[in-house]
Amino acid sequence: MNTTYRVLIKSKDEKGLVYKISKLFSDMELNIISNSEFVDKAHSLFFMRSEVSGDAIEQKLLRDKLISLLPDGADIKIVDTSVRKRVVILVTKEIHCLGDILMRHVEDELNADIIEVIGNYDVLEDTVSKFSIPFTTISHENLNREQHSSLILQRLEKLDFDYIVLAKYMRILPPSFVSQHRDKIINIHHSFLPAFIGANPYKQAFDRGVKIIGATAHFVTDDLDEGPIIEQGVTHIDHTYGWRDMQRAGRDVEKIVLSKALKLVIEDRVFIYNNRTVIF
Amino acid sequence: MNTTYRVLIKSKDEKGLVYKISKLFSDMELNIISNSEFVDKAHSLFFMRSEVSGDAIEQKLLRDKLISLLPDGADIKIVDTSVRKRVVILVTKEIHCLGDILMRHVEDELNADIIEVIGNYDVLEDTVSKFSIPFTTISHENLNREQHSSLILQRLEKLDFDYIVLAKYMRILPPSFVSQHRDKIINIHHSFLPAFIGANPYKQAFDRGVKIIGATAHFVTDDLDEGPIIEQGVTHIDHTYGWRDMQRAGRDVEKIVLSKALKLVIEDRVFIYNNRTVIF
Amino acid sequence: MNTTYRVLIKSKDEKGLVYKISKLFSDMELNIISNSEFVDKAHSLFFMRSEVSGDAIEQKLLRDKLISLLPDGADIKIVDTSVRKRVVILVTKEIHCLGDILMRHVEDELNADIIEVIGNYDVLEDTVSKFSIPFTTISHENLNREQHSSLILQRLEKLDFDYIVLAKYMRILPPSFVSQHRDKIINIHHSFLPAFIGANPYKQAFDRGVKIIGATAHFVTDDLDEGPIIEQGVTHIDHTYGWRDMQRAGRDVEKIVLSKALKLVIEDRVFIYNNRTVIF
Amino acid sequence: MNTTYRVLIKSKDEKGLVYKISKLFSDMELNIISNSEFVDKAHSLFFMRSEVSGDAIEQKLLRDKLISLLPDGADIKIVDTSVRKRVVILVTKEIHCLGDILMRHVEDELNADIIEVIGNYDVLEDTVSKFSIPFTTISHENLNREQHSSLILQRLEKLDFDYIVLAKYMRILPPSFVSQHRDKIINIHHSFLPAFIGANPYKQAFDRGVKIIGATAHFVTDDLDEGPIIEQGVTHIDHTYGWRDMQRAGRDVEKIVLSKALKLVIEDRVFIYNNRTVIF
């Protein structure tokens, strides 16, 4: 039976890596469908993403062989493309990013399962239910940040998921939350990072009189809005835009940028290092 | 003889302004070629730019009549379109923004005269001379900021100019300079404001791992890089761009954005207020 | 009671129109909120869109007064902004454009009512029903184009609507249909017009090896894909995109472009003339 | 002495190519600096561009070894990066594309030599001479297309060049010319291909009422404006743009797109096949 695997390698760079890795694929009778490499020379780091197909293999065997030929400390990820990723979405009240993902879900464009939506309000429950996706409301009322976050963590523990998408989830996740799901949380920031960090960036952008606004999808780290950037988009505006018009124009950018970023992540195209991303 | 005028009005908003102004044009037998209006409701401000044509008029008369019908404190600017604007360019060592303006000058696309280029180095003198434009070197060596700036001011006093363009002029102008030429100095900022203010924004952008870089043309105020924005542009980049690649890609955005902004200003399309611009 | 009206005027150009119209507004105690004008000099045509507010007026009176002061043959449209536009959507099988509109509908971003969705397949009925919007299937099976079209026309006659949106409706409407709903039908063309007219433009674009693809929202006329353009958008692609990848990337452009165009039309910002649009 | 080579391979695809090629590099002690691969599955074609460095090698030896390990009919190109490409530019009267290249030449951004500019008018001679680049006028007056073309061919024969850039050269080159310099002629088309082929595309675009205009850089083939596309760009316009405004706005796109394409070609990043390009 023919299976397709994605093999992702991040390691110290050294001479002959492509040769060694492609030899291994050849030896294991895996055919390379696509291959992308990048070397960060400043840090002497090697990145490779290969799609290979062949008879179903023992992933452990492939991993062990890769470990033995790669420099010490290499990160190796082997993904069977027939296994669908599982995604949890966190929301507050705004529908545009969630709605965009839901519609792609209906079309099965993302090739992933949305297994649950969690909201700190129940405003979007009605819409989500229409798509036969479970919605859990975990209100933050009368709770401090840690208490609320730990309720969400408890709920997440019961779910088997690969990624958490913050689709306009308007609360800050505490370090305890972020550290438990490192490199798994994708956020859409309603601004063109690093501009206008913090509350109401559209009001800030209006005050600054900008002619372009944007949005940034990034992984969440402890540094608010400062995690590795996956995708960015912009749109032009002019002096006739009040900050609410900017917000509305921004929504179109936000939803497309978040969905693009999600797709890149689901297809295992994104490497994270030094608070940056390599995207194949 | 038929003459075309641009009439720019900024005033407190009140009912009937368009009617009163257009009645005046009609009474003075000035035909409206184009008309743009904008009201900033939050600040109750009225902006209007009209192109009108008719027999040569006494500009003082038109101005007086406008003053009498507009709310107190109105700003009025009347421009005879047959009079070419005069532009001085300040440079340091980089050629791309200057070169783009020079080539447009050769084509007479800007409908303005470049009367002099001033550099704090003589690196670009050779190129500028080829275009029969005077080049003056005013070195900053062994001078403090104020001393150097005052030498430039002395040179500028001898020139009759409308606008100063900082075409990658890499020194900060002191408040004494800026206040003397308020709303007349156009800068290109090598970044997508308000991001990465300060030195080497491309290095900062690289470290932040951005996927889009940009440039901002703005009027210069005492707040470094914080003056009213005229035009912005962006370009997409990816992980393969080192900061020098970003800088090179940025140059293409910088030169186009600066030239567009200069054109808008020369055509009297830009109003400044509250550190923002209205652009017709 | 304060009411806001949009007054849209298209007429032969002549001296003093702005003055006459603004005088009328002033005489009728209508305050101008915003005003946009454009003169097509080549055709000597005058376009004006004013938002005015004041006590509720007799629209007929305003219209009669405008007729009396404007050149013969002027088009005048007066719109009470408190009356919501009513929209019918035609679809086939693809969900992305419809879904984008539905989500904006949930947010009430469009300030219009979607009163019915008509499909020549029932594929999307399920999704539409979730939003409590009627869905009517009018199959084209065993019918020729005229027969099918006349069934849709019969259904439309029972609906009171302002605009018909073809949200990836994949059948050609016959002239009889188009002529009955002139300037009311908005289509999204899955290509960057005028390129790649006809079937499977993404396949054509792939064969041509383009590096940019786009989408065009336009009014429908008898000339297939040749009606007045309202809005266009593009996205960059590269050699790794097969035509299905291009199609998928194109969907993101299509939905945003169609929704933007719909919004412009609903806000009465679009004038049509000479197979072109003026958009304020 | 360390030398950097670019190795470009286009061949029938087969299992193990990356392995075989990277093994050869390894055997020859060439270090891979960067590596890009692409497989066109529909046509079973393999493309690879490697930058390798090592001691100066016998290029013939590397080529022979590659031939022996690659499928029959493979195209192999080995480039010593220390050898500068030589470029001839053909112009008519417009300066913007030429000027953009000249300014990059001054900055040595292109890493290539402009060895001559040939014009069918002498309009641009003056500007070119300022940059100490030879200008040859070959007038087309009183000559038919073949006669004029053969004069240019005669001039080109005396020059040792790698690429010919048509920087707004407004005459059609006959098949005899094109076939002699296959895959070496780069043109900028003043339109967003495949739209508006032929004369005055800006007039055509105006008549069509488009909201976006663009430009396309492509290799020249016998099919007018139909050669493999290298790079495209666009800019937004609106109803206030007459066709001359569109032309002027288009110039900014044209020059940036042409210069980007030229840079890609000079860096050996462009493969041509099936009237398409693969760009690494």
Span D192-204, pLDDT tens digits: 655 666 667 788 8
Subunits next to C (3 or more Cβ pairs <8 Å) are A, B, D
Contact A99 C106 (CB under 8 A): yes
**pLDDT (0 to 100) of residue C1:** 67
Contacts of D239 in chain C (CB under 8 A): 38, 276-279
C22 CB within 8 Å of a chain B CB: yes
Q: Give the alpha-carbon dihedral of A123, A126, A132, A138, to 10 degrees.
A: 30
Same domain, D56 and D172: no
Would you call C229 and D211 a contact, using CB atoms and an 8 Å cutoff? yes
pLDDT at B130 over 80: yes
pLDDT at B194: 56
For residue A228, say if its preceding peptide bond is cis, omega within 30 degrees of 0.
no
- Whether B149 and B261 share a structural domain: yes
Q: Catalytic positions of A, please? A: 225
Say what the pTM is.
0.94
- Cβ contact (<8 Å) for A209 and B240? no
Say whether residue D160 is in contact with chain B using an 8 A CB cutoff.
no
Q: Is D40 on the interface with B (CB under 8 A)?
A: no
Size of interface A-D (CB pairs under 8 A): 44
Asked if D163 reaches chain C (Cβ–Cβ under 8 Å), the answer is: no
Domain span including residue C119:
86-279
Same-domain pairing of C26 and C94: no
Q: Which residues of B does the annotation mark as catalytic?
A: 225
By Cβ distance, the residue of D31, D35, D39 closest to A34 is: D39
Tokens of C100: 């984008």
- The predicted structure's pLDDT at residue A2: 87
Per-residue pLDDT of chain A (280 residues; tens, 9 = 90+): 689 999 999 999 998 999 999 999 999 999 899 999 999 999 999 999 999 999 888 899 999 999 999 999 999 999 999 999 999 999 999 999 999 999 999 999 999 999 999 999 999 999 999 999 999 999 999 999 999 999 999 999 999 999 999 999 999 999 999 999 999 999 999 876 556 666 777 888 888 899 999 999 999 998 767 899 999 999 999 999 998 999 999 999 999 999 999 999 999 999 999 999 999 9
Q: For residue A109, give the nearest of C106, C131, C248 by CB distance.
A: C248
The larger pLDDT score, comparing residue B7 to residue B196, is at B7
Pairwise CB contact (< 8 Å): D26 & A37: no
CATH number where D26 lies: 3.30.70.260
- Interface check D231 vs C, CB under 8 A: yes
Name which of B252, B167, B169, B96 is nearest D105 in CA terms.
Answer: B96
Instruction: Indicate if D256 and D146 belong to the same structural domain.
Output: yes
B38 in contact with C, Cβ within 8 Å: yes
A76 and A97 inside one domain = no
- Kindly report which listed range (B47-51, B272-276, C189-193, D25-29) carries the lowest average pLDDT score: C189-193
Q: What is the pLDDT of residues D207-223, one digit of tens each?
A: 889 999 999 999 999 87
Q: What percent of chain B has pLDDT over 70?
A: 96
Give the distance from residue A43's alpha carbon to the nearest chain B alpha carbon, in angstroms. Answer: 12
Q: Which of D21, D24, D35, D235 to mutate to test the interface with A (most CBs of A within 10 A)?
A: D35
D7 contacts in chain A (CB < 8 Å)? none
Question: Among B60, B80, B100, where does a domain finish?
Answer: B80
Kindly state whether C264 is in contact with chain D, defined as any CB-CB distance less than 8 angstroms.
no
Chain D residues near residue A237 by CB distance under 8 angstroms: none
Backbone angles phi, psi at C125, to 5 degrees: -55, -45
Domain boundary among B80, B102, B118: B80
| Most confident range, picked from B252-256, C40-44, C188-192 | B252-256
Return the closest-CA partner of residue C163 out of C93, C80, C268, C92.
C268
| Mean of per-residue pLDDT scores for chain B | 93
pLDDT for C205: 84
Within 8 A by CB and 6+ apart from B12, the residues are B44, B45, B46, B71, B72, B73, B74
D131 pLDDT exceeds 70? yes
A166 touches chain C (CB under 8 A): no
Residue D6 is predicted with a pLDDT of 97
D131 lies in the same domain as D40: no
> Could you tell me if A256 and A171 lie in one domain?
yes
- Cβ atoms < 10 Å from Cβ of D206: 22
Interface test with B, best of C35, C41, C211, C234 (most B CBs within 10 A): C35
Across C113-131, average pLDDT: 96
Q: Are residues D110 and D139 in the same domain?
A: yes
Quickly state the pLDDT bin for D175 (edges 50, 70, 90): very high
Residues of C with CB below 8 A from D233's CB? 212
Q: What is the domain count for chain D?
A: 2
Residue A203 confidence (pLDDT): 83
Cβ contact D106–B100 (<8 Å) = no
Residues of C labelled catalytic: 225
Give the C-alpha separation, A209 to A215, whole Å. 17
Please tell me whether residues A92 and A219 are part of one structural domain.
yes
Structure tokens at B200: 């080497």
Last residue of a domain, one of B21, B47, B80: B80
| Closest to A154 in 3D by CA, of A138, A167, A166 | A138
Say how far apart CA D125 and CA D145 lie, in whole Å: 22
Considering the domain architecture, whether residues D101 and D47 belong to the same structural domain is answered as: no
B97 plus B74 within the same structural domain: no
Residue B71 sits in the same domain as residue B159: no
Query: How confident is the model over B137-158, as a mean pLDDT?
Result: 97
Residue C194 maps to which CATH number?
A: 3.40.50.170
User: Where does B140-242 have alpha helices with state H?
Assistant: 145-157, 175-180, 201-208
B45 touching C (Cβ < 8 Å): no
